[in-house]
Amino acid sequence: MAFGGSSTSFTLPHTHNQTLANDGGTLSTTLTDMGAVTLFSLISGATDPQTAINTAAISTNTGNIATNAANIGTNTAAIAALPASAWTRIVNQSVTGGTSNFNVTGLTSTSKYLMFTFAGSFGAADALRLRFGTGGSIDTGSNYSWRTGRNGSYGGSFGQTTIEMMTANSGGGNNFFVSGFMQYNAASDGSGTADSRIGNFTTAQDDSTPDNYQTSFEWTNSTTPITDIRFYANGGNDIRGTLCIYESQD
């Protein structure tokens, strides 16, 4: 194919059909084979913008993976440091009768809180009371205060020698069920040894006319830690049952 040299010459129509030597083939096919990325590079001399976007995204994801790996490590360590249980049973004690006192002695816990469960009964109609002590000696001084709600009727007293949890049952069943919680070695201001011990017990009485009690209490003798706890039958009848006490992990 030749080009004329005069101003009246023009290029004749032609195609790239690979029929002649050095013919490049059909132009549309050649452009398709090159692809958009190559064409863009040839035209502008620049890097394909999508490649730059992908490179930035890969960098971001790499950073996120590293951050997540660090978080997993931190969380794994935190989980491993958690106690096996939030509460640990320190007392599992039973009596079968023969005394009006249910004594727990020799407690050595330094935890801040105690939790109680007590399923018991009396040898006859009686009332349930509570006291605390230290070194094997029960405090019978006027260091207790309490307020009890019985089926919506409330009563209580301050500066007493005992905590009243349940008034005398009148007959029928002699069983009672207690669950409760108390501050043990936590000061009311958040520091040091407790300056008073406060708590709350729920007591259900199985009687011919069942009663339910909510008792809030305080023991203000805080010269030494609590080592002794006494639930007892106020009228002197035998007390029977099983008491469990749990200490907090705090």
Are 205 and 182 in contact, with CB atoms under 8 Å apart? no
From residue 97, alpha-carbon distances to 100, 102, 241 in Å are 8, 9, 8
Between CA 173 and CA 205 the distance in angstroms is 8
Span 141-168, average pLDDT? 87
pLDDT at 236: 92
Please enumerate in sequence order all residues whose Cβ is within 8 A of that of 159, keeping only pairs 6 or more positions apart, or say none: 142, 143, 144, 145
Span 31-57, average pLDDT? 64
3 state SS of 175:
strand
Span 32-37, average pLDDT? 58
Please enumerate in sequence order all residues whose Cβ is within 8 A of that of 221, keeping only pairs 6 or more positions apart, or say none: 132, 139, 141, 143
Q: Assess whether pLDDT exceeds 60 at residue 19.
A: no
Between CA 25 and CA 23 the distance in angstroms is 6
pTM for the full predicted model? 0.65
- Give the confidence band of 40 by pLDDT, cuts at 50, 70, 90: low
Question: How confident is the model over 165-209, as pLDDT tens digits?
Answer: 988 766 656 889 999 999 887 665 555 566 678 899 999 987 766
3 state SS of 51:
helix
Q: Assess whether pLDDT exceeds 90 at residue 130.
A: yes
3 state SS of 111:
coil
Please enumerate in sequence order all residues whose Cβ is within 8 A of that of 65, keeping only pairs 6 or more positions apart, or say none: none
pLDDT at 24: 52
Between CA 241 and CA 233 the distance in angstroms is 12
Residue that has been written with the tokens 């009246």 in this structure: 8
| Amino acid residing at 227 | T
Q: Nearest-CA neighbor of 229 among 162, 168, 176, 160? A: 162
Taking the CA atoms of residue 226, residue 227, residue 232 and residue 237 in that order, the dihedral angle to the nearest 10 degrees is: -160
pLDDT at 12: 57
